[in-house]
Each structure stands twice: as C-alpha cells, then as structure tokens.
Amino acid sequence: MSPAKLSLVSDNQSSNPDVEAHSIRLDDFSAYYGKNCIISDVNLKLPNKGVTCLIGPSGTGKSTILRWLNRINEDTENASFSGTIKVLGRDFISGYPDVTELRRRVGMVFQQPCVFPCSIYDNMLMGLRGRKLSEMQARDSVEQGLKSASLWDEVSHRLETRADALSLGQQQRLCLARALVLKPDVLLLDEPTASIDPVSSRAIEDLVMSLGNKISVVMVTHNIGQAKRISDHVVFICDGKVVEQGPRTHMFSSHCSAKTKTYITEEFCDC
Amino acid sequence: MIESARIRQTKEKCFAMMLRVSLLICAGTLIFLLGSIFVKGIGAISLDFIFTPSKDFGKSGGIFYQIMGSLLMVFVAAALVIPLAIGTSLFQYALNTRTGIGYFLEQSLYALNAIPSITYGIFGLIFFVNVLNTGISWFVGSMILAIMMLPTTTLSTYQAMVAIPKIYHENAAALGLTKTEIMRRVTLPQSFHGIVTGSLIGLARAIGETAPIMFIATAFSGVSVPKSLVEPVSTLPTHILELAQQSTDPQALQNAWGASLILVLLVGSFGLLALLARSRFSRRSPK
Ligand SMILES: Nc1ncnc2c1ncn2[C@@H]1O[C@H](COP(=O)(O)OP(=O)(O)OP(=O)(O)O)[C@@H](O)[C@H]1O
Ligand SMILES: [Mg+2]
C-alpha cells in the first residue's frame, strides 16, 4: 500500500475483499418514523470511489437514507429501520459496536450549515479532540482541511475569530473542511450547495469531484444540472423507492426510463 | 351586525383597561416600595456606614460585617450549588425523558422551590445544630441557602440545555464525538448563560432570606469576619430585623432603612448581572 493511499484508506479496508467493490450496500432497507414507512425495500450498491448523486422530489426520504448510513437517526425519536446496511464491508450495527468509529469513517455535512459558536480553529479540531495531537500536528490538520475545502485563503489570517461570523457559504465549506480532517472513507453530503451562492457552490462542486477520485461521496441534490456535472452514478428516488439507478451516462441519456426522463427534464414526478 | 361590532369594541376596551390597571398595580407597587426605601434610606448611607462595624445593636456605627457576612454566605452557597446544579441538569438532560426518574427529578425540583423558607430553617436547626451538633455556623447556613438555590439554578441550566437546537448535537455526533464529549463540548458551553443567570437569580433570592438562616447561622451582635467554619456571622436581613425591633429609636429606624437600601442594591446588582450575562453569553442562533 502506498503512503498516499494509507492516509486515506484505513487498515481494515484492505483485509476485506468485499470492501474493494462497495463502500456502502443497502439490502431490502426500509426506514420508518413511528409507523410511517418513509423508505421501503431499497437496494443500493455504491462503489468505493466516485460521486453518487441521490435525486428525487422533496420529502421522498433522501435525507433519511443518509441519516441512517452513519446512524445519526439512531438518536432521533421514533425513527426505526429494517433490512441491512453494510458500510465498508461491515454491518452498520453489529460491525460497529462503537458508533463513533462508524461516524468518523463516514463523514457527513448537513443541509443547513451549522458551525459551533467557537473559533474557526476550534471548529476544525472538534472531531479530532479525542486524539492526542501535538500542537504542530493539529495546526497541520487544520491547514490541510481548510485548504481542501478551498477556504484556507479566506480564513488563514483569522483562525481565532468566531466561526459564526463567517458567511453562509464559508460556513458550509467549514463544515465540509471539519469533516475532511477526519479523513473519512465515505462522505455524505445533504444538499451542500442548497443555501449558498453560485460561486461557492462551484467551489464545492470542484472539491466533490476531486474527492470522488479518492473516496466514495454520496450527495443529495435538487439541482439536476449539478448532478449532471459532477456525478458518476445517479440514484433516482421517488416516494420512498428507488425508481432507477445507473451511471450518469445512462441516466442522462435517452435510454433511461420514462419516469426518470420526466423528472430530469421537468423536475416533476407523478409516482 | 353593527350591534355585535359595538359589543366587541366595548369588550376590547374593557380588556385593554384591565391590562392597564394590572400593569399600574404591579409597577406602582414596585416603584412605591423601591422609592420609599430609597428616600428613607439614602440619608443613612455614607462611606462610614458601609465600612465600619455596627455598635450598640446597630443603633450606631455601620453595617460592614453584615455586608461581609451576607456576601460570604451567598457566595459560598453559590460555590456549593453550581457544580450540583450542573450535575443535576446534565443528568436530567441525558435521561431525556418526561417519564420515570427524569419526571420525578423535575417534579422534586419544583416541589423544593415551593417549600416555605422557614421549613429549611427548622430543618437546619434540628438536623445540623441539634443532631450533628455543629452549633451556630455560617457554613451550615450556606449549605441551607445552597439547597434553596438549587431548584432555580438547576431549572435555569436545564432549560438552557433543552433550548440548544438539535442540529448542534447531530453535527457533533456526525464528527464522531461520544455522548460525554458532546456534553462537554456542546451542551455545557452553550448552556453557560443559563448556569450564570440561574445562579445569579438564586443569589439574589438567597441574599434576602432571613428565616432559613436565623436560627442556625447568625448572631445579632458581637460578630466579625469568621475565622472558622463553625462561627456565626451577622447578615443584612437579620440585622434589619433586629433594627426594626428597636424602631422606636429614630436612629435605629434610620439605619434599618439604610441597611434595606444596601440590600436592595445588592439584589438589584445581581439581577442586573444576570441580565448582562444573558445578553452577553447567550447562544447565537445559527444563521
Ligand atoms: N424526525 C421525523 N419525524 C417524523 N417524520 C419525519 C422526520 N424527519 C423526516 N420525516 C418525514 O420523512 C419524510 C422524508 O423526509 P426526508 O427529510 O428524508 O426527505 P428528503 O427526501 O430529504 O426531502 P428534501 O429533499 O425536502 O430534503 C418526509 O415526509 C418527512 O416529513
Ligand atoms: Mg433532505
């Protein structure tokens, strides 16, 4: 294993052959809030590398899927599931008795930017606090993370100022940078560009594409043009079911199903 | 139609009138009280009054040791209560339930808040002074005051914790923080203003209490700054009580008003600090 790969891929990944093929695998997965079935019998296989875009109308359960992949929904009242998810070759419940390990390996950026009311620097170190880092190592990680989210140039001179003074777009990139310092193997992005301007949004798109060369990125988006620009793989979800999935070239070609075509061209779905 | 509109208008006027009258009663009482304390007390106040010990059961001299005694007792009480309040509210918050132990705990706090203060005094007298044989001790008084402050401080802290948007917890959890780390890095810092305001309000209440400490912690005369935990002190409220009992003497009466004014100013400044703390440390909501 080359040093470059070492830094991005953790050890247990190499020992499991199944992992090489799929970073995430859902088998007959259903999710519920109370008695309401939000997602029913979803089967998905996401490759180890590349950008997967989840598209579909509002309220169809895209966020719900993401929120189960790193078990954030475990702490949500009345949320439950059936079926199995495998994350990096291990069952997402029994394979990760320590949920924090799963969450460190599966990074997540939420739809709403949310920075902690402390300095930019402290925000960046939030996830690293448990590890014993020297001052130097910490500085390095912060710098690397901010650079990879293309935020370093804007904030390098004011790392000690409060993070909530940043603009929304900067806050969202800070959230991304904060997730990236943990060097996740999978990155979940829930409409990361929904609340920000076109320029920041392009910066995030570029970043997502370059991340896709190294790790698996799962991104929810309402912006069809964006999905077309950056995805390798597209999953179209409607009414809690996967209507169609496939490589970008297929989904945005004339060979896709009628429903997908309607949604992609008219952003409307009748299911 | 017109008839009903007129009735509606009349009703509305009556209601507005009622609001004004109740506001007037509240504000009027407050202004009258504070105003008369100020007018009658200001004459007694001088640097001498504040910085010299009392003589002759308060008829002459100042109230230096009373101020010291009051401050000592409430600050020690606050030091005792703050860790306890943080622990209790964290526990209650972590239970995250409106049933079972969490419910029992919350109800106990409200009940504790409703207990008449003289009951605390009697309890202190029986348990500490008689059973544990501590004698009259300011520290025992501080402990009793701490118990009295506990509900206010805990509830204020707890409410500040509950008000933290869930999204902060989810973001912290998504970064791989354990539940304990989330408490330390998110819950505690963001409910800090609740801890501060709660304890200041608790302080403001405790410093004015007479009944719970009268039998167990204070003496009416012959005290200075205590040198051990088991000595009595004199406090502003008990001193005012003593002066009021000699109110036939104009000098004692004057000093009673003066001491009252100082007490009110202390309470007011704690309240003001609480307000400042609330606006200064309060969590900025996410944009
Ligand atoms: N905590 C919750 N409790 C109950 N129902 C919920 C909860 N969270 C989401 N839902 C419901 O689950 C359904 C799916 O929600 P979800 O957030 O996954 O949709 P989405 O596809 O991400 O939509 P959008 O594109 O608008 O973000 C919605 O109908 C929503 O009302
Ligand atoms: Mg969503």
Q: What is the mean pLDDT of residues A171-200?
A: 89
For residue range A127-174, what is the model confidence (pLDDT) as tens digits? 887 677 788 888 999 999 998 888 898 899 999 999 988 988 889 989
pLDDT-derived band at A7 (thresholds 50, 70, 90) equals very low
CB contact under 8 A, B176 and A127: yes
Instruction: Sketch the domain layout of chain A as residue ranges.
Output: 49-75+105-266
Supply the pTM of this predicted model. 0.79
Instruction: Sketch the domain layout of chain B as residue ranges.
Output: 2-44, 47-284
For residue range B148-181, what is the model confidence (pLDDT) as tens digits? 899 989 998 998 999 899 999 999 999 999 989 9
Mutate to test the interface with A, among B95, B168, B175, B190 (most CBs of A within 10 A): B175
A184 in contact with B at a CB cutoff of 8 Å?
no
CATH class of B47-284: mainly alpha
> How far is residue B83's CA from residue B88's CA, in Å, rounded to a whole number?
9
ipTM of the shown complex? 0.86
pLDDT, residue A15, reads 46
> How far is residue A182's CA from residue A252's CA, in Å, rounded to a whole number?
34
> How far is residue A212's CA from residue A217's CA, in Å, rounded to a whole number?
6
> Is residue A31 within 8 Å of A64, Cβ to Cβ?
yes
CB contact under 8 A, A100 and B185: no
Alpha-carbon gap: A271 to the closest alpha carbon of chain B (Å): 31
Regarding the beta carbon of A112 and ligand 1, being less than 6 Å apart is answered no
Nearest chain A residue (CA) to B170? A72
> Is residue B156 within 8 Å of B86, Cβ to Cβ?
no
Measured from the alpha carbon of residue A34, the closest ligand is 1
Alpha-carbon gap: A63 to the closest alpha carbon of chain B (Å): 13
CATH number for the domain whose boundaries are A49-75+105-266: 3.40.50.300
Torsion of Cα atoms, A188 then A191 then A197 then A201, to 10°: 40
Tokens matching residue B162: 């509950």
Q: Using N-to-C axis directions, what is the helix angle for B117-124 and B138-162, rounded to 10°? A: 130
Using a CB-CB cut-off of 8 Å, the residues of chain A touching B169 are 75
Q: What is the mean pLDDT of residues B80-84?
A: 94
Q: Report the atom number in ligand 1 closest to the C-alpha of A65.
A: 18
State yes or no: pLDDT of A201 exceeds 80.
yes
Among protein residues, the one with the nearest Cα to ligand 1's atom 29 is A59
Query: Which residue do the tokens 């000595």 mark?
Result: B231
pLDDT, residue A2, reads 39
Using a CB-CB cut-off of 8 Å, the residues of chain A touching B175 are 103-104, 126-127, 178-179, 182
A97 in contact with B at a CB cutoff of 8 Å?
no
Give the angle subtended at the CA of A75 by the CAs of A73 and A78, to the nearest 5°: 75
Q: Report the atom number in ligand 1 closest to the C-alpha of A62.
A: 21
For residue range B204-239, what is the model confidence (pLDDT) as tens digits? 889 888 888 888 888 777 677 788 887 888 888 988
By Cβ distance, the residue of B167, B168, B177 closest to A127 is B177
pLDDT, residue B205, reads 87
Percent of chain B exceeding pLDDT 70 equals 94
Closest to A107 measured CA to CA, from B262, B175, B243, B237: B175
Alpha-carbon gap: B190 to the closest alpha carbon of chain A (Å): 8
Regarding the beta carbon of A60 and ligand 1, being less than 6 Å apart is answered yes
State yes or no: pLDDT of A1 exceeds 50.
no
